């Protein structure tokens, strides 16, 4: 595909990172600032997955497969409608990112990266989330950092959500068409 042809359509950003990295907060704020659609990836988990995680059981790749397909379907629906959006997804492994981003040149990855200690403190402080802090070590062990060919925008999560969003917006390639949803 022509490099410029990919930019004639609205963009979809996938905000990834381990649990507690701020995907929901940053993703919502990013979508609001851009005037784009927003989809919380965790809302697309089948109930069985939520039950497993709530019980402290890590998900297997087989558990994740239907969830990743639902996220890919949401992305493709926006793309088909010519709409821009932000979706959150832990997307810890390259194989998962290949499902939700794959050969979609108009979908970009935003990796929220932070120290285990900082993210652990944030997870311990949050209320009402199904993911227990006990699974954080599993998340870090599973995480495969994006490689250069994935064109990820990697942002440190040490700042405030507004600072993180500002950094993401600064780092979006200028040639990308940032059309409203």
Prediction pTM value: 0.86
178 located within any domain = no
Encode pLDDT of 147-181 as tens digits: 999 999 999 999 999 999 999 999 987 755 555 55
176 located within any domain = no
74 located within any domain = yes
Give the neighbor-by-neighbor strand order of the sheet with 85-88. Answer: 37-39, 85-88, 12-16, 107-113, 153-156
Domain containing residue 99: 5-171
50 located within any domain = yes
Number of structural domains found in the chain? 1
**CATH code of 56's domain:** 3.40.50.300
Encode pLDDT of 64-117 as tens digits: 999 999 999 999 999 999 999 999 999 999 999 999 999 999 999 999 999 888
156, 137, 154: which is closest to 145 by C-alpha? 154
User: In this structure, are residues 178 and 86 in contact, taking their beta carbons and an 8 Å threshold?
Assistant: no
141 located within any domain = yes
């Amino acid at each position: 595909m022509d490099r410029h042809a990919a930019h004639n359509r609205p963009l979809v950003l996938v905000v990834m990172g381990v649990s507690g990295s701020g995907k929901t907060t940053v993703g919502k704020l990013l979508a609001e600032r851009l005037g784009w659609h927003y989809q919380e990836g965790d809302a697309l988990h089948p109930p069985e997955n939520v039950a497993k995680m709530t019980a402290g059981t890590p998900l297997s790749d087989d558990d994740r497969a239907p969830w990743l397909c639902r996220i890919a379907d949401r992305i493709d629906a926006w793309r088909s409608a010519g709409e821009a959006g932000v979706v959150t997804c832990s997307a810890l492994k390259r194989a998962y990112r290949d499902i939700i981003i794959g050969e979609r040149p108009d979908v970009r990855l935003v990796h929220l990266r932070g120290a285990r200690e900082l993210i652990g403190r944030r997870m311990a402080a949050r209320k009402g989330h199904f993911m227990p802090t006990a699974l954080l070590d599993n998340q870090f062990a599973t995480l495969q950092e994006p490689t250069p060919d994935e064109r990820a925008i990697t942002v440190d999560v040490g700042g405030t959500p507004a600072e993180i969003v500002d950094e993401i917006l600064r780092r979006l390639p200028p040639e990308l068409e940032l059309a409203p949803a």
